[in-house]
Amino acid sequence: MPWDFGEIPGAAQDVRTLNEQGSAMLVAPDDRSLEAIGPNIYDPQRRAASASAGREQGVELAGEVTAMWR
């Protein structure tokens, strides 16, 4: 029965476990990206700024991601 196997971990716990094993990295919007996104993630007027901030964050993290997969 399903309840005999314990609690189902959330995504954050899964990533923590995988990160400890060196096989996962959780990337979430940084402060600049959150500011660019604004209070309404569906606001089309913020799309360009959000994309730009996300790209900048991706460029900054590229080295870490590359190192993890080597």
Q: Does residue 53 carry a pLDDT above 70?
A: yes
Q: Distance from CA of residue 38 to its chain's centroid? A: 17
Q: Which residues have C-beta within 8 Å of that of residue 42, sequence separation ≥ 6?
A: none
* Residue pLDDT, tens place only, 2-52: 556 666 667 778 878 887 887 778 788 999 999 999 999 999 999 999 999
What's the pLDDT at 11?
75
**pLDDT computed for residue 27 by the predictor:** 84
